[in-house]
Homo-oligomer: A and B are copies of this chain.
Amino acid sequence: MIKKSDRAYGVNASTQTVETEMVEEGMREKRGIEKDFEVPIIIENVTPEIDGGIFAAKSVVGDPFIVEADIFRDGYSVIAASLKYRKKNEEGWQEVPMKHYENDRWRGVLIPTDNTLYLYTLEAWADHLTSWFRFMEKKCPANSNVSGDLAEGLQLIEKAETQAKGKDLKKISHFKNLLELSDGGSDEVLRIIQNEDFREAVLKYPVKDKLSSYGKELPLFVDRKRAEFGAWYEMFPRSQGKSKSKSGTFKDCIRRLPDIKKMGFDVIYLPPIHPIGTTFRKGKNNSLEADKDSPGSPWAIGNKEGGHKAVHPELGTLEDFEDFVQAAREYEMEIALDLAYQCSPDHPYVKEHPEWFYRLPDGTIRYAENPPKKYQDIYPIDFYSEDHEALWEELRSIVFFWIAKGVRIFRVDNPHTKPLRFWKWLIDTVQEKYPDVLFLAEAFTRPKVMKYLAKAGFSQSYTYFTWRNQKWDLRQYLQELTMTEIRHYFRPNFFANTPDILHEYLQKGGRPAFKVRLVLAATLSGNYGIYSGYELCENKPIKEGSEEYLNSEKYEIRVRDWNQPGNIIDYIARINRIRAENPALQKHLNLEFFQSENEQILCYGKKTPDNSNVIVVVVNLDPFRPREDLVALPIWKFGIEEWQTYQAKDLITGDKYYWKGSHNYIRLDPEVEPAHILSLKK
């Protein structure tokens, strides 16, 4: 007896030992007529398959989702394969054929239609009939009679016949009769099996009697389009009023909507809107002594007026907030809330659930501390506390609370300091009920932790973009995001600035630098954002060498003059309109870098698969000096021949250039326009 291999390694390896077990199983199963046993065809190196299928690949509704695998078997007979998929909450698989394209690599494409969790898997089988056709096409010319082989083929044709119906059945039976009447005369046989009509009919009914399944059903989470395409605008509601000494309100925020809409943003993200603690409240510029009027940091959440489910009374009421959400919706914009799981010492949780915080052996609660720095205004939550079940439930109920108020996007503060598994559980269970909810991870930490958060379910992630300001590191970073495995699950959101990050490039480079970084963020990534003040080119750090803003809005109310000279509001509006009008710019995965010699000129492009929208972006990274270069475009990929003249229209200025060939001269003066966004047309 052939026993199951003893090297069925791994205690828990039941997924994987399916391959080993098939040896035995295959031996027991009786399939087909001539042969009772066929080893399964090997299906391996499936992409995407994230960590063996525990994590979902990501896509968006309507986007072709490509699955590839190595599929092969012993010997030389022909095989066929298909990609199968279904929504997880529905029965019944749909199936699309896979095609071999090179070196035993196969590819199948499905187009998901719904914002939900899908499963996909693969199967392959021996295509005996095609094997037989190919064999006979070589054998017939070399032999006068092929009756032995014909008998074998007729058995295969009969199998197709039993499945066929209507016209196909008639055709198959007709040609089968002809073959039977041929008596194996090879000329006759060859003529019949080469009949296109016959081939088409009979191959419609593949006999999958040697079927091999991949064995795993892999998850694919299909988001709504906003997950990969959106322009974000971050603003502090309290700064939207008229006075530095009086908090703006949600009603003021509503008044701001037309301006934000005019700039072309899709998402308005608000820092925490909850009551702010008073104990150890931070003053202006993060000083330890807050004066009486200091409004405090919105991230010191909670006081006697409420916690994460309340709004700061100075901003208005919950109803006011809901009105704001509704008003934004009427402008086709969404509100994103901050999800910052931490408490001020005055948060109601501290009294009601001291067991949810870190406590020293003497029972006192420990504040956040990174010696010698102390953050006495913040109590971190102990996610591993004895009462964690109730704690986790309560934290999730905050999300459900705001969902009920109309919020569908959450920007999560510092997720990397909370358990990775907490996020997986939270996001899985929230999206199970509300698949349209999106989560953005604000994790500026080590790369593997950031990737893991994305695998665990975050729809989007903050990135290292703010610190990538040179040609080589922009290219390297974007190539990692778009060409390595993380492309399947990590979606970048390129913020050009945040309340915490004013990069030196912006501090020093002035207005041209703000335009450069805007164009890069908005055209390299489908998701990007700015924090308000960017449109005014605010660039004063608290001190030389720091990325903190001077008079940071985190600790005080800032009222701005939006018509201030030198603002780039119109420029932002133009860039966002270009994004909205050009589908090629609505994702990051179609990015390709093009060759340019000048170390300060970055050239890249994006296009739709059908070449109906071809965008080429050229940016002068040097905000101080004009730069020129010869850039090399792979025009053959755009369907343009070397001899053809084509139009390159600058969507920023409206200027039109008529080019021929792949190499073209570029000159960009940062004081005029630091970037081209070119639409190419034949």
Closest to A380 in B: B75
- Do A39 and B384 touch across chains, with their CB atoms under 8 A apart? yes
Partner of A53, one of B2, B3, B13, B72: B13
Interface assignment of A446: CB less than 8 Å from any CB of chain B: yes
- Taking CB atoms, residues of chain B closer than 8 Å to A14 are 12, 14-15
Interface assignment of A645: CB less than 8 Å from any CB of chain B: no
- Taking CB atoms, residues of chain B closer than 8 Å to A72 are 446, 448-449, 452
- Taking CB atoms, residues of chain B closer than 8 Å to A39 are 383-384, 419-422
- Do B56 and A138 touch across chains, with their CB atoms under 8 A apart? no
Partner of A149, one of B19, B215, B360, B417: B360
Interface assignment of A27: CB less than 8 Å from any CB of chain B: yes
- Do B54 and A361 touch across chains, with their CB atoms under 8 A apart? no
Partner of A448, one of B104, B138, B419, B428: B104
- Taking CB atoms, residues of chain B closer than 8 Å to A2 are 389, 392-393, 425
- Taking CB atoms, residues of chain B closer than 8 Å to A36 are 384, 386
> Contacts A361-B151, A386-B37: A219 and B7 contacting too (C-beta < 8 A)?
yes
- Do B12 and A74 touch across chains, with their CB atoms under 8 A apart? no
Interface membership of chain A positions 188-215, coded 1 if the CB is closer than 8 angstroms to chain B and 0 otherwise:
0000000000000000000000000001
Q: Determine the distance from Cα of A590 to Cα of B567 in the docked complex, in whole angstroms.
A: 60
Give the residues from 406 to 430 in chain A that come closer than 8 angstroms, CB to CB, to chain B: 416-422, 424-425, 428-429
Q: Determine the distance from Cα of A53 to Cα of B17 in the docked complex, in whole angstroms.
A: 9
> Contacts A3-B429, A119-B9, A151-B362: A74 and B386 contacting too (C-beta < 8 A)?
no
Closest to A364 in B: B148
Partner of A16, one of B3, B6, B51, B383: B51
Interface membership of chain A positions 114-141, coded 1 if the CB is closer than 8 angstroms to chain B and 0 otherwise:
0001010000000000000001001101
- Taking CB atoms, residues of chain B closer than 8 Å to A361 are 148, 151-152, 155
Interface assignment of A235: CB less than 8 Å from any CB of chain B: no
- Do B74 and A417 touch across chains, with their CB atoms under 8 A apart? yes
Number of A interface residues, CB 8 Å? 96
- Do A20 and B104 touch across chains, with their CB atoms under 8 A apart? no
Interface of A is mostly: mixed
- Do A446 and B23 touch across chains, with their CB atoms under 8 A apart? no
- Taking CB atoms, residues of chain B closer than 8 Å to A35 are 382, 384-386
Partner of A9, one of B22, B54, B152, B388: B54
- Do B13 and A142 touch across chains, with their CB atoms under 8 A apart? no
- Taking CB atoms, residues of chain B closer than 8 Å to A22 are 421
Closest to A13 in B: B15
Taking each of A17, A54, A151, which has the highest tally of chain B beta carbons within 10 Å of its own beta carbon?
A54
Q: Determine the distance from Cα of A139 to Cα of B372 in the docked complex, in whole angstroms.
A: 6
Distance between A73 CB and nearest chain B CB, rounded to angstroms: 7
Interface assignment of A1: CB less than 8 Å from any CB of chain B: yes
Q: Determine the distance from Cα of A12 to Cα of B22 in the docked complex, in whole angstroms.
A: 14
Interface assignment of A5: CB less than 8 Å from any CB of chain B: yes
Interface assignment of A432: CB less than 8 Å from any CB of chain B: yes
Distance between A304 CB and nearest chain B CB, rounded to angstroms: 26
Q: Determine the distance from Cα of A38 to Cα of B419 in the docked complex, in whole angstroms.
A: 9
Task: Using CB atoms and an 8 Å cutoff, list the residues of chain A in contact with chain B.
Answer: 1-3, 5-20, 22-23, 26-27, 35-40, 42, 44, 51-54, 56, 70, 72-76, 103-104, 117, 119, 135, 138-139, 141-142, 148-149, 151-152, 155, 215-219, 360-362, 364, 366, 369-372, 382-386, 388-389, 392-393, 416-422, 424-425, 428-429, 432, 446-449, 452
Question: Can you list 29 A-B contacts (CB < 8 A)?
Answer: A1-B389, A2-B392, A5-B424, A5-B425, A6-B429, A7-B432, A9-B54, A9-B119, A9-B218, A10-B52, A10-B54, A12-B15, A13-B53, A14-B15, A16-B54, A19-B54, A20-B54, A23-B425, A36-B386, A40-B421, A42-B420, A72-B452, A74-B417, A75-B418, A103-B448, A104-B448, A148-B361, A148-B364, A151-B362
